[in-house]
Amino acid sequence: MNYLTNAGALLLQFAFGAIVTLFVLRLLAEAHRADFHNPICQFLYRFTNPVVRPLRKALPNVRRVNTAALLIILALECLKTLLIVALAGIAPAPLGILVAGIAETLDFFLLTWIVLVFVWSLMSMLSTDRYHPVARLVSSLAEPLVRPFRGRLTIGGLDFSPTAVLLGLFLARMLIVQPLADWGMRLLLGA
């Protein structure tokens, strides 16, 4: 790719990343039953509701997972992949777009959890206001991941449960997402 194509791909990734972040946070907030009165949650619902609400009528929730939001995230990731490949001048295969979109979606969720657990562990080390809207949202989204390990990985008064969760998330990116993304790229290029 040339310099202009790289710049265009960066702008596309940034724009789609910002939009996908809102839908991912909404999906996670619903799944973990974050406080709806939190101003950040209200913003997420207000911004994403015009798109999610019509699809929710056709796609009911599965347990606490908003399948409409998940479908929107997958569609956005597939569209981003399609636009980036088209920008590079490659005629993509539809199956390659789908597999690459699934890999991007899974990677986005894992990266979101990595950031949330990291920020949560920083906030627990520093004296932050636990009632701040950001702190409440991060805590409600990161706590369920860390809770199964809490108290089991304590050495010398230090809790290493966030480290174990982060290690697991990084391994999932390396062992699940990367092979899936490589397979999607091979399908995209017709190799």
Q: What is the pLDDT of residues 112-170, one digit of tens each?
A: 999 999 999 888 888 777 788 888 898 899 988 888 887 777 777 777 888 899 999 99
Residues 94-97: contacts with CB under 8 Å, at least 24 apart: 95/187, 96/184, 96/185, 96/186, 96/187, 96/188, 96/189, 96/190, 97/184, 97/188
Q: Residue 75 is part of which domain span?
A: 3-189
- In which band, very low, low, confident or very high, does the pLDDT at 171 lie, cut at 50, 70 and 90? very high
Q: Which residue has the tokens 């907030």?
A: 29
List all residues 6 or more positions away from 161 whose beta carbon is below 8 Å from its beta carbon.
146, 149, 150, 151, 152, 153, 154
In the chain, the number of structural domains is 1
How many beta carbons lie within 10 A of that of residue 21, not counting itself?
Answer: 16
| Burial class for 97, CB neighbours closer than 10 Å (0-12, 13-18, 19+) | buried
